[in-house]
Amino acid sequence: MDGGLLFFFQLLVSGVAVGCLYALVALGFVLILKATDILNFAQGEVIMISAFICYFLVTTLHLPFLVAVLITCAAAGLMGILTERLVLRPMLGEPVFAVVMVTIGLSIFLRSMTGILFGHNNLVFPSPFPKETVKMGGIILSQTQIWIMISTLALIIAFFLFFKYSRMGLAMRGTADDQNVAQLMGISVKRVFAMIWAVSFVSAAVAGIFLANVMVINLGLSFVAVSAFPAIILGGLESIPGAIIGGLAIGIIENLAGGYLDQIIGGGVKDVTPFVVLFLILMVRPYGLFGKKEIERV
Partner 1 sequence: MAIRSKTFRESYYEDIKLFQTIWIKFWMMLFIIALVAVPFVTDPYLVYIIDISCIATIAALGLNILTGFTGQISLGHAAFLAIGAYTTAIFASTLNMKFWVCLPASGVAAACAGLLVGIPCLRLKGLYLAMATMSFGVVVEYVTVTWEDLTLGVRGISVPTLDVFGYALDSNEKLYYFLVAVTALAVIAATNLVRTRVGRAFIAIRDRDIAAEVMGVNLTRYKVLAFAIGSFYAGVAGGLYAYVMHYIHPDHFTFLLSVQYLAMIIIGGLGSVLGSVFGAVFVTVVPEFIKALAQTMTLVFPALEDKYDDAWNIAAFGLLIMLFLIFEPKGLSGIWLRIKTCFKNWPYTY
Binding site for partner 1 (CB under 8 A): 39, 87, 90-91, 94, 96-98, 100-102, 104-113, 115-116, 226, 229-230, 233, 237, 265-266, 268, 271-272, 275-276, 278-279, 282-283, 286, 296, 298
CB of 295 to partner 1, least distance (A): 12
111 or 142: whose CB is closer to partner 1? 111
CB of 115 to partner 1, least distance (A): 4
CB of 68 to partner 1, least distance (A): 26
Maximum pairwise Cα distance, the chain: 63
175 or 273: whose CB is closer to partner 1? 273
Cα-Cα-Cα-Cα dihedral sign, residues 137, 139, 144, 146: negative
Single-letter code of the amino acid located at 4:
G
CB of 247 to partner 1, least distance (A): 16
**Per 3-state DSSP, what percentage of the chain is helix, strand, and coil (rounded to 5)?**
75, 5, 20
Cβ atoms of 269 and 258 within 8 Å: the answer is: yes
4 or 95: whose CB is closer to partner 1? 95
- DSSP symbols for 175-208: HHH-HHHHHHTT--HHHHHHHHHHHHHHHHHHHH
CB of 189 to partner 1, least distance (A): 20
CB of 269 to partner 1, least distance (A): 9
Calpha distance 227→287 (Å, rounded): 18
Identify the CA nearest to 278 among candidates 249, 298, 255. Answer: 249
Cα-Cα-Cα-Cα dihedral sign, residues 174, 178, 181, 183: positive
78 or 113: whose CB is closer to partner 1? 113
CB of 129 to partner 1, least distance (A): 31
222 sits in which H/E element: none
Q: Which residues contact 100 (CB under 8 A, 6 or more apart)?
A: 39, 41
Q: Which residues contact 137 (CB under 8 A, 6 or more apart)?
A: 1
28 sits in which H/E element: helix 3-36
Calpha distance 1→10 (Å, rounded): 12
CB of 175 to partner 1, least distance (A): 19
Single-letter code of the amino acid located at 47:
I
Cβ atoms of 57 and 71 within 8 Å: the answer is: yes
104 or 146: whose CB is closer to partner 1? 104
